[in-house]
Amino acid sequence: MKGVIYARYGPPDVLQLKEVAKPIPQNDEVLIKVYAAEATKADCELRSFSFPVKWFWLPLRIAMGLIKPKKQILGGYFAGEVESVGKDVSKFKKGDQIFGAFKLRLGAYGEYVCLPASYTLVPKPLNVNFEEAAAVPLGGLNALHYLRKANIRKGEKVLINGAGGSIGSFGVQIAKAMGAEVTAVESTIKEDMLRRIGADHFFY
């Protein structure tokens, strides 16, 4: 199969399209043909190994590869179709269209990935295409987690600062679905978009 790999840390041009081994699913795993992957800030940081917070640079470098990357295919969020499953998997079957998140295994920049069926993998809605589905897990899972933590109830008021980003924009939509009155704080260039996705009030 083909994969976008990085054999060393560095600028974007370290990324190269190469032939790599196609993974084989273990008994508890799902083999997925990837149709879309989300490129994230974290992918860029791992590729360049440049992070805004410096204190964890060394432990992370040891974990990810001191001299060169241990996991050479980036990408933690994807959408695709199940090609085969391990013998212990009953949750999915060949042909299922799914999307999800990798945790720390990475690999979405490849044509195929193998993941345990217990990972965050869910059916793709029929009215959502693969590109749209791949963009959901990073922002959507974070927004959902924190809004649930806040125990948002119908009729409550929620203010979302930085509402135009990945997490913020999902936060606006999820808070509205929970019945909240949502105020979005963002630059004026994003006002129309935020009102379209449900913001009741807008400040900049």
Work out the average pLDDT over 109-122: 96
Structural domains of the chain sorted by starting position, each given as residue range(s) with its CATH number in brackets: 2-130 (3.90.180.10), 136-203 (3.40.50.720)
The pLDDT score that the predictor gives to residue 56 is: 81
Q: Do residues 112 and 22 make contact, with C-beta atoms less than 8 angstroms apart?
A: yes
pLDDT of residue 83 exceeding 90, the answer is: yes
Name beta bridge partners: 33: 81, 112
The pLDDT score that the predictor gives to residue 80 is: 99
Work out the average pLDDT over 123-138: 97
What's the distance, CA 73 to chain centroid?
15
Which bin fits 135, alpha (ψ -120 to 50), beta or left (φ > 0)? alpha
Which tokens in the block code for residue 191? 């006002």
15-72 tens-digit pLDDT: 999 999 999 999 999 999 999 999 999 999 999 998 888 888 888 899 899 999 999 9
pLDDT of residue 170 exceeding 90, the answer is: yes
The pLDDT score that the predictor gives to residue 55 is: 82
Enter the pTM of the model: 0.86
Q: How far apart are CA 115 and CA 26, in angstroms?
A: 9
153-168 tens-digit pLDDT: 999 999 999 999 999 9
Lowest mean pLDDT segment, chosen from 101-105, 113-117, 126-130, 196-200: 101-105
pLDDT of residue 140 exceeding 80, the answer is: yes
Work out the average pLDDT over 118-147: 96
